[in-house]
Amino acid sequence: MGQVRAIVLRAAGINCDMETEYALRLCGAEARRVHVNRLIENKSLLDEYQILVVPGGFSYGDDVAAGRILANQMVHHLAEPLRKFVDDGKLVLGICNGFQVLVKTGLLPGGEFQNKVTLTDNDSGKFEDRWVHLEAMSGKCVFIGQGEKIYLPVAHAEGKVQVADNDVLEQLKSADQIAFRYVDSSGGQAEYPYNPNGSVEGISGLIDSTGRVMGLMPHPERYIRPTQHPHWSRLSKRSEGDGRKIFANAVEYVRKNLLTPSGK
């Protein structure tokens, strides 16, 4: 069996690449941070990896719009290799700014939803930095099991998922492409501050039609170890943070489906 290999995309302003690389390595992947310009110069580099992660931060300072400049680079220079990457059955994960990038490239939600979903300013009108409860909603997402509830930190100013109209929302639901929703501490419908940005129906993450491309606003790489939780000393003893399972599931999926003969 070969080694699971993950590429963590870098660009000016991205600031969670090292944490993301560490999380992937902790879960057994050989992870490497690569600047987007190096990938544009050598597009075949993607062929060497099975997981692509666009991490959080503020790519190019979000000077035009959150994630827009990096998304444009990817669309104009990497569209074909990215499409091949997904068509080959590989995984793509976008976290926070990376989620914004994937939406603006059209990789999320993808297909018929092109230009019908966006991420915009938080309803609070300010940067939200807090911990939130999430429920996994999709039955086809490879990164986490449906119904699982996890607790992760958010840190963003433009994290509100907004759809063109109610028909688009219903289509996303029927296509099972809502990866996560914000919930309150008891698992019920989330209002502010449990829903930190005002996302429609509390949507905090989306997948494409394959379930192998996912974006989410909260930061799983910031809760890999129990001691990263602000109340770690008061929580029941646990061996790992909730965010670790997203990376672990991705690595395990690759091992079983891409590296093992006949997927066995």
> Which residues are catalytic, by number?
96, 219, 221
Sign of CA dihedral 196, 199, 200, 204: negative
Cα(135)–Cα(133) distance, rounded to whole angstroms?
A: 7
Sign of CA dihedral 251, 255, 257, 258: positive
Among 231, 229, 227, which Cα is nearest to 219's? 229
- Give the rounded distance of the alpha carbon of 130 from its chain centre: 18
Report residue 84 as tokens. 């091949």
Cα(126)–Cα(214) distance, rounded to whole angstroms?
A: 25
Beta strand extents in 29-148 (DSSP E only): 30-35, 51-54, 91-95, 117-120, 128-136
DSSP state of 66: T
